[in-house]
Amino acid sequence: MFFRRAFEAAAPPLAIEPLVFTIHGLADIDRSIAGLAEQQNTAVLFPPDLTTQALREEVVALAARHRLPAIYTDAMFVKIGGLASYAPDRLESGYVDRILRGEKASDLPFQQPTKFELVINMKTAKALGLTIPETLLVAADEVIE
């Protein structure tokens, strides 16, 4: 719900019409992507979600099959063929290190991320016929060729 409200608030100044789809499984994802692909000038943003995370290979394949640009909130999607991700650097927070050293996750303080990573897959961009601006490539933390 947090991501939905944030997306709906940020979209109008960017001249983006937010379309939000509720998904419960692969059939919902397939139907949503197919519907978006029928429209012009569309793309999809996948917020953090357990369903899409569990189905990431299928999600990336569906976006590719429908030639729909997709942005993810986990670099793993991009490493298996997704277009791009922009997400908090999970290691930067120090949580992983502290948990591996024996601290309980429930004892750790809540922290907002301070570092984000941009990952771009150029092979996917080329397959979609997209030109990624040089300024974005220079800003990226990782560019997959």
In the chain, the number of structural domains is: 1
Q: Is 67 exposed, middle or buried (0-12, 13-18, 19+ CB in 10 A)?
A: exposed
In whole angstroms, what separates CA 60 from the centre of its chain? 10
For residue 27, what are the CA distances in angstroms to 3, 4, 15, 64? 22, 21, 29, 16
32 or 90: which leads in pLDDT: 32
**Which band of pLDDT confidence, cut at 50, 70 and 90, is reported for residue 132?**
very high
What is the CATH classification number for the domain harbouring 34?
3.40.50.2300
**Which band of pLDDT confidence, cut at 50, 70 and 90, is reported for residue 105?**
confident
Nearest-angstrom CA–CA distance, 51 and 22: 11
User: How does DSSP assign 40-51, residue by residue?
Assistant: SS--EEE-S-HH
Q: What is the pLDDT of residues 36-75, one digit of tens each?
A: 999 988 999 998 888 999 999 999 999 999 999 999 999 9
Domain span at residue 31 reads 2-144
Whole-model pTM: value is: 0.81
At residue 110, the pLDDT reads: 73
**Which band of pLDDT confidence, cut at 50, 70 and 90, is reported for residue 115?**
confident
Closest CA to 42 of 68, 71, 10, 8: 68
At residue 1, does pLDDT exceed 70?
no
**Which band of pLDDT confidence, cut at 50, 70 and 90, is reported for residue 102?**
confident
Q: Which two tokens stand for residue 42?
A: 């569309």
In 24-73, the DSSP E strands lie at: 44-46, 70-72
